[in-house]
Amino acid sequence: MHPIVRAAYPADRTAVAQARRFVRETLIGWGADAAIDDAVLLTSELATNAVIHARTPFEVICRTAGTSVQVEVVDGDSTQVLPAPGDGDDPDRISGRGLLMPVMLAAEWGVSYAAASKTVWFRLCTGAAPVPSPPQPYATPDIPGVEYGIVHRPAAEAYDGDLYDVFEAAPGRWRFAIGDVSGTGPEAATVAGLARHGLRLLAAEGHGVADVITRLNHAVVREGAHGRLMTLLHGELVHRPGAGMRLALVSAGHPPPLRLTPSGEVTSVSGTQSSLGAVRDTRFEEETIDLDPGDVLLCVTGRAVDGIAPGAIGWPSARHAGAGADGLARLLAGWTDLTADAVADHLRRSTGEAGEVAVLMLRVG
């Protein structure tokens, strides 16, 4: 166990470079080479937040134990408001982007408050890290007037990087997300988990659907050669006056959701924009869709769409359906009265054993 090392700095922008140098030299002395680059980047981010947002002197504390290091930045602002970048921020700026960077890079991170201070900390692995597991589901909320089901079937041999989530962003506002990270294995698992945490954090900070996707894209692009492309479908549901739901939606390179009406009509409800990590300066735009009582919305990962085979067992009129999105639309058109769980379960069975599948299906009451 190494001793705790700390250094204090004034509320001045020049102190950020001094804090970076302190962390780099400390970790070099501890032989924690694997964590140096990320630790310096995150320290720069948090120190800049302390200078710009807290506007108080700050302290940097380094701790280490086992195969991890922990860095803490303590400032004099005890108000429980997390810093977030503004609408006019340059996506290429090297600091001052709120807490999205710790979400995307750190193994663990957190914020604690005292009577006259705030501490933001992060922990990084310095040695061989355990292989990450696929993201485990959070507790999902009840959405008044909406029945929904989530089905996830892991791949047989390797984690493929699907992510899925439903959560309450604010009273009366519910978010959902379903996405797919390129590649397989531990890195895909890590990116999927961090993206899901980032979605929840940014939503809690009050960012709209398109802004959340835009900021996640900035973070993925900043990962450079270590980053991966990601498709993501992200939406927010609110109640419409009278009946039904209003949906704000962005599809970043992801198969658009399909809507099935009580009459049996099937339509695609959105266009598709760039995948996350593909284009640095992309500004994503959200679409607004009104869902009526009885409408069904089906969202699936790209692998689920690709895995639908002609003649899939259990689907009505399956012998007439082709593979892919067109086949999925034809298959849906045969159903008008099944529950959300039943539709999702049939989709899971229809894809066979080709790989990982995530399905999110919602029915408006």
Q: Are 353 and 156 in contact (CB under 8 A)?
A: yes
Q: What is the pLDDT of residue 345?
A: 61
Residue 353 phi, psi (nearest 5): -120, 30
3-state class percentages of the chain: helix first, strand second, coil last, to nearest 5: 30, 30, 40
Comparing 16 with 92, the larger pLDDT belongs to 16
Q: Please, which pLDDT band fits residue 91 given cuts at 50, 70 and 90?
A: very low
Within 13 Å and on the Cβ side, how many CA atoms surround 5?
17
Residue 240 pLDDT > 90:
yes
Residue extent(s) of CATH 3.30.565.10 domains in the chain: 5-125
What the block records as the tokens of 284 is 């994503």
Residue 158 pLDDT > 70:
no
* Distance from C-alpha of 284 to C-alpha of 302, rounded to nearest angstrom: 20
Residue 309, Cβ neighbours under 10 Å: how many?
A: 17
Comparing 360 with 108, the larger pLDDT belongs to 360
* Distance from C-alpha of 70 to C-alpha of 63, rounded to nearest angstrom: 5
Q: What is the pLDDT of residue 48?
A: 87
What the block records as the tokens of 247 is 């949906």
Q: Please, which pLDDT band fits residue 72 given cuts at 50, 70 and 90?
A: very high
* Distance from C-alpha of 158 to C-alpha of 161, rounded to nearest angstrom: 9
Question: Considering just the CA atoms, what is the radius of gyration of the chain in Å?
Answer: 23
- Alpha-carbon distance values, 86 to 58, 90, 186 (Å): 23, 9, 33
* Distance from C-alpha of 284 to C-alpha of 265, rounded to nearest angstrom: 28
Q: Please, which pLDDT band fits residue 94 given cuts at 50, 70 and 90?
A: very low
Residue extent(s) of CATH 3.60.40.10 domains in the chain: 146-364
* Distance from C-alpha of 320 to C-alpha of 327, rounded to nearest angstrom: 8
Q: What is the pLDDT of residue 80?
A: 55
CATH number belonging to the domain at 146-364, selected among 3.60.40.10, 3.20.20.70, 3.40.50.300, 3.30.210.10 = 3.60.40.10
Percent of the chain with pLDDT over 70: 67
pTM of the complete model:
0.65
Q: How would you class 364 by CB atoms within 10 Å of its CB: exposed for 0-12, middle for 13-18, buried for 19 or more? A: buried
Q: Are 179 and 230 in contact (CB under 8 A)?
A: yes
**Mean pLDDT of all residues in 192-215:** 85
204-237: pLDDT as tens digits: 878 899 999 998 888 777 665 445 788 999 999 9
Q: Show the 3-state SS of 255-277.
A: CCCEEECCCCCEEECCCCECCEC
Least Cα distance to 202 among 211, 191, 192 occurs for 211
Q: How would you class 128 by CB atoms within 10 Å of its CB: exposed for 0-12, middle for 13-18, buried for 19 or more? A: exposed
Within 13 Å and on the Cβ side, how many CA atoms surround 263?
3
Comparing 241 with 102, the larger pLDDT belongs to 241
Q: Please, which pLDDT band fits residue 323 given cuts at 50, 70 and 90?
A: very low
Q: What is the pairing mode between strands 108-114 and 245-252?
A: unpaired
18-32, 88-102, 113-127, 191-205: least confidently modelled range: 88-102
Q: What is the pLDDT of residue 67?
A: 82
> Which of 137-146, 231-240, 263-272, 332-341 ranks highest by mean pLDDT?
231-240
Q: Are 296 and 363 in contact (CB under 8 A)?
A: yes
What is the average pLDDT value for the chain, to the nearest integer? 76
* Distance from C-alpha of 126 to C-alpha of 36, rounded to nearest angstrom: 9
What the block records as the tokens of 45 is 């981010």
Q: Please, which pLDDT band fits residue 70 given cuts at 50, 70 and 90?
A: very high
* Distance from C-alpha of 162 to C-alpha of 154, rounded to nearest angstrom: 9
**Mean pLDDT of all residues in 152-161:** 63
Residue 103 pLDDT > 80:
no
Residue 89 pLDDT > 60:
no
**Mean pLDDT of all residues in 120-149:** 74
Q: Are 101 and 82 in contact (CB under 8 A)?
A: no
Which fold does the domain 5-125 belong to in CATH?
Heat Shock Protein 90 (3.30.565)
Residue 282 pLDDT > 70:
yes
Percent of the chain with pLDDT over 90: 25
Q: What is the pLDDT of residue 308?
A: 44
Residue 166 pLDDT > 90:
yes
- H/E element holding 282? none
Q: What is the pLDDT of residue 216?
A: 87
Comparing 337 with 189, the larger pLDDT belongs to 189
Q: What is the pLDDT of residue 237?
A: 98
Residue 274 pLDDT > 70:
yes
Q: What is the pLDDT of residue 348?
A: 58
Sheet holding 258-260, edge to edge: 146-153, 357-364, 296-300, 258-260, 266-268
- Alpha-carbon distance values, 344 to 196, 294, 340 (Å): 21, 16, 6
